[in-house]
Structure 1
Amino acid sequence: MSGRVFLVLLVGILASVSLTWWLAIGERQRTIGQFREARAIEQAEQFIVTLDAIPAADRPAFLATTRRFGLRLELMRAMEPEQQPIEKSTKFSDALSERLGPDYPVAALQKSADDCPAPRGRRIESGAVPMRITCEALQVRLRDGSRLRMTIFPPRHSAPPPLRTDAVIFLLMFLLSIGVLAYVVARMTMRPLKQLAQAAEKLGDDIDRPPLAQQGTTEIRQATAAFNAMQARIRQNIQQRTQMLAAITHDLQTPLTRLRLRLEKVSDTELRDKLIGDLSATQAMVREGLDLARSMDSSLPLQLLDLDSLLDSVCSDAADAGQDVTLQGRCNLSMMARPTALRRCLINLIDNAVKYGQTAQVTVQRDDIDGRTCARVRIRDGGPGIPADQLHKVFEPFHRVENSRSRETGGTGLGLTIARNIAEQHGGSITLANHPEGGLEVTLTLPGQATSRR
């Protein structure tokens, strides 16, 4: 987008500058032409007045000197018939008549193709291209009655001068400055849009990001204000949903506890055990629902947490509880996290591996992703894995994979959903893949910063 804006600005500025330059050169040529025409009329006037003032015997010698000034003056013999003037006067005849006054009548004559030869000493080429010469044929009557035939060669417009080296350097520097200016303007114009796009991309990772600064053009400020309002509404809806779910699951705890106490008084042992089993499953679902609500709560404060210490603690607690859990590797990273929530994420992943695959092999390593330092935690179980078309569906709430995992217990279908919510709140991600050697491998990626090695 910024590239297109840059090109539009650059082409527009260059077109405007080129048009201005062309108009300026044209105006310069017209001004020079007008000046030279006025100069030619002035010279013709001076020659005529001077010719009229000198004796008739000296006039031929004087006429010979005028040829190098772009004029050809010829005294017409008395017996030579007078040429008929053209019906309309010309620009030169009018201008010369105005300067000479009524003492020197001026008339424009008919001229043929041979009337305009190039005068001696007159260069008629510009470079290697011949220039066609036009002229004006005039008849001027002197005060003594002599007739003077005058051929005036109007000065042609000079060709644009060739570009000098310094002019070429100046032009290149000018074009470079125009390009830099267009690039800066394009970047300044697109920066708010780029920030808005980045904020929209990261909105799903952190709904509590600070609102964007409203700056730039009117349209950009309006779009930014609308984006901030949308973010505020989404955050409010999530908070309301979380509070509602937490309130429902919390309020269910008390009646379920009373129901359990009453079931203990049922005399039929078989019926009591079945009812208590159903009640236990219901209580587990309520607890998972409460954990799900808490996993969407991003209002808890962040603390600096050492990832290696957290993994050691979680894996040690699982091993002490009799689960087959092993831990390999270190990442030497720390991160700003919510310790209780991140612990719940790891516990859910490890419990899920042990529950459905009997074992949990945990490995951790440090990695760089797109220039960011991250920790990769891989948890591999010993089960049969799950179908490829179910790898993304298992993150949906209450979704359970049938016939592909242990049939002894199915859980509530919220464990992976809770773990993914917590990971995304911390700027991380969770992916599932069937390991080539068997079993399901869960990869938890978390951003971190380096800590001192121990």
Structure 2
Amino acid sequence: MRSTSVFTQVSLLSFASVLIAFGLSFGAVILTPVPPPPQISIRDVITAFKRDVTTGFIVEKHATSPTGLRLSPIETALSRALNISPDRIQVDLLDTARTGHVFGEGQSTLLIGQRLAIIDSNAQGFTMRWDEHSPIGPDTRLPAFVAALHQDDGQWLWIRPSDPGLTIWRVRLLLAFGLALALLSGPVWYAARCLTRPIERLGTVARQASIEGERPFPVTGPKEVQAVATAMNIMHDRLSLQAKEQIQALTSLAHDMRTPLTGLRIRAELIPSGQKQYALKDVARMTHMIEEVLAFARLSQEDADFQVTPIVPLLREIIASYRALGEPVFYEDHDTQWNNIIVRGEVIMIQRAIENVIVNALRYAGSAKLTIQCPEDHTYLKIHIDDDGPGVSTDKLDFITRPFTRLETSRNRSTGGTGLGLAITKRIVTGYGGQLELTNRLPKGLRATLSFQREGL
């Protein structure tokens, strides 16, 4: 089924859902037929008027009499039984759509047009009458009607039969439709999950994919998803090839520049002392830029060497080297529980990643403070490097970790740098399965968080 197209799966799901819904609805209607209309007698209405028994009737007071199809024979029978004037009673037919004819013992009624026919039957035959003076037996079952009695206070007392059979029928229909919904919800949910799971998997892989490595998108699932995954793999190969060509071009250029730089350094030694130090400084800066480019190229072309490193001794060594040079770099080392923590990564690479961030902090803020933190799951170790500089605008926090990226406002070219420091740090940290996160501090400053996977848990 996974190789079937999304169109086919959705079509089959829709057809099956409609078929099941119609089948259940049809079965509900067949198994729960519409109940027959309610039937009442003159005696029932008289009992309700006298308030002896009101079960099965709805008793209400209204300012006006009913307005509908009047049944004069029933009005006459009720006025005689109640011994009241005929103008104080009014009877109107209810629910003409469900009312036709009803039968009682020895006497029946039949609605013809707007006239109520009375049929008296016995063993010899039957007779039909429909004049309003024809008597109706007190126990003859009659079509449902509303009877209104004019009260002494000017209001009308309405009595009409309730229809519990119809109410029960409606409840049964609702229960049947609810059952259909319950029976359909499970298969529909499962089918929807089968349809969306390959797309969600593709999205997850796309968020985690990098430009390096093999084709990351699995060609599985429906045909449309397979076509998208195939196209994305082709796009990945194309982008990866372009990136490799760019890195190769930079590497070749950097290698080619080493030779003339060596010549420039030798010639700079022969310059008179007045300009010599500036020339040598420029050559050193160019050499540093070339080394940064080569380092970035090597990280882009080589797989990470998964070694392990005790992190606290390394941090102490880094801090000591900067403090020996008089640099204001601080490390809060108050808890001995971190002393034996080992993280995944090569010592030289981790040291370079940390020092790149410290150099940035010193260059743009003048100081740096390091702290370490271990989340509750103990799977990662976080190294926070804080500074009190101007920070970075929120919309550029992710942007500055890209290669050759420099901010031209507070972090301009007069401060030096190649725009590769944070890019190299990010490449090192992510290469070891970690993460680099930059956040602004309040009221000012920047925090760089390097997360490394722990080993030996």
Which TM-score bucket, shorter chain as reference? 0.5 to 0.7
Cα distance change, pair 169–430 in 1 and its aligned pair in 2 (3 A): closer
Cα distance change, pair 276–400 in 1 and its aligned pair in 2 (3 A): farther
Q: Which amino acid aligns with 1:272?
A: K
The Cα of 1:198 is off from its aligned counterpart by: 0.9
Q: After the TM superposition, which residues 159-308 of structure 1 pair with which residues of structure 2 at under 5 Å, given as runs?
A: 175-204=181-210, 207-208=212-213, 211-264=216-269, 266=270, 268-297=272-301, 299-308=303-312
Mapped partners of 2:283, 2:412: distance in 1: 24
Q: 1:375 is matched with which residue? A: 381
Structure 1 position 15 matched with structure 2 position 12: no
Mapped partners of 2:19, 2:109: distance in 1: 34
Q: 2:359 aligns with which of 351, 365, 383?
A: 351
**Percentage of matched positions with identical amino acids:** 20
Q: 2:331 aligns with which of 322, 327, 333?
A: 327
Mapped partners of 2:102, 2:392: distance in 1: 99
Mapped partners of 1:433, 1:26: distance in 2: 66
Q: Which amino acid aligns with 1:303?
A: Q
* Structure 1 SS opposite 2:231: helix
Alpha carbons 2:392, 2:440 under 8 Å: kept: no
Q: Answer 1 or 2: higher relative contact order, Cα 8 Å, separation at least 6.
A: 2
Mapped partners of 1:120, 1:373: distance in 2: 88
Cα distance change, pair 213–117 in 1 and its aligned pair in 2 (3 A): closer
The Cα of 1:278 is off from its aligned counterpart by: 2.1
Q: 1:364 is matched with which residue? A: 372
Q: 2:72 is matched with which residue? A: none
Mapped partners of 2:15, 2:107: distance in 1: 43
Mapped partners of 1:268, 1:350: distance in 2: 36
Alpha carbons 2:369, 2:387 under 8 Å: kept: yes
Mapped partners of 2:331, 2:220: distance in 1: 50
* Structure 1 SS opposite 2:221: coil
Cα distance change, pair 303–18 in 1 and its aligned pair in 2 (3 A): same
Cα distance change, pair 345–28 in 1 and its aligned pair in 2 (3 A): closer
Mapped partners of 2:283, 2:192: distance in 1: 65
The Cα of 1:257 is off from its aligned counterpart by: 1.4
Q: Any gaps of 5 or more consecutive residues in structure 1? A: 1-5, 30-115, 126-158
The Cα of 1:391 is off from its aligned counterpart by: 5.9
Mapped partners of 1:447, 1:255: distance in 2: 40
Q: Any gaps of 5 or more consecutive residues in structure 2? A: 1-8, 33-100, 111-164
The Cα of 1:362 is off from its aligned counterpart by: 0.8
- Cα displacement string for residues 305-348 of structure 1 (whole angstroms, at most 9, x for unaligned residues): 44445434433443455533222257676554455433221111
Q: Which amino acid aligns with 1:294?
A: R
Mapped partners of 2:365, 2:174: distance in 1: 77
Q: 1:422 is matched with which residue? A: 428
- Cα displacement string for residues 153-189 of structure 1 (whole angstroms, at most 9, x for unaligned residues): xxxxxx99x98x9999998776534322211111111
Mapped partners of 1:410, 1:305: distance in 2: 31
* Structure 1 SS opposite 2:305: coil
User: Alpha carbon RMSD of aligned pairs, Å?
Assistant: 4.8
Q: 1:105 is matched with which residue? A: none
Alpha carbons 1:367, 1:373 under 8 Å: kept: yes
Q: TM-score, normalised by structure 1?
A: 0.56
Q: 2:125 is matched with which residue? A: none
Q: 1:399 is matched with which residue? A: 406
Q: Which amino acid aligns with 2:279?
A: L
Mapped partners of 1:27, 1:177: distance in 2: 19
Which shows bigger deviation, 389-398 or 187-196? 389-398
- Cα displacement string for residues 351-394 of structure 1 (whole angstroms, at most 9, x for unaligned residues): 222344443211111236xx895433222346x53564896465
Alpha carbons 1:428, 1:446 under 8 Å: kept: yes
Cα distance change, pair 241–302 in 1 and its aligned pair in 2 (3 A): farther
Q: Which amino acid aligns with 1:293?
A: A
The Cα of 1:194 is off from its aligned counterpart by: 0.2
Q: 1:47 is matched with which residue? A: none
Q: 2:53 is matched with which residue? A: none
Alpha carbons 1:386, 1:405 under 8 Å: kept: no
Which shows bigger deviation, 246-255 or 309-318? 309-318
Mapped partners of 2:207, 2:109: distance in 1: 71
The Cα of 1:285 is off from its aligned counterpart by: 1.6
How many residues are aligned here?
324
Q: TM-score, normalised by structure 2?
A: 0.56
Alpha carbons 1:10, 1:178 under 8 Å: kept: no
Q: 1:431 is matched with which residue? A: 438
Q: 2:65 is matched with which residue? A: none
Mapped partners of 2:194, 2:378: distance in 1: 27
- Cα displacement string for residues 36-68 of structure 1 (whole angstroms, at most 9, x for unaligned residues): xxxxxxxxxxxxxxxxxxxxxxxxxxxxxxxxx
* Structure 1 SS opposite 2:417: coil
The Cα of 1:263 is off from its aligned counterpart by: 3.0
Cα distance change, pair 253–390 in 1 and its aligned pair in 2 (3 A): farther
Mapped partners of 2:12, 2:436: distance in 1: 41
* Structure 2 SS opposite 1:367: coil
Mapped partners of 2:434, 2:107: distance in 1: 84
Mapped partners of 1:16, 1:23: distance in 2: 10
Mapped partners of 1:260, 1:218: distance in 2: 62
Q: Which amino acid aligns with 2:187?
A: L
Alpha carbons 1:10, 1:179 under 8 Å: kept: no
Cα distance change, pair 416–300 in 1 and its aligned pair in 2 (3 A): closer
Mapped partners of 1:178, 1:7: distance in 2: 15
The Cα of 1:220 is off from its aligned counterpart by: 1.4
Alpha carbons 2:350, 2:429 under 8 Å: kept: yes
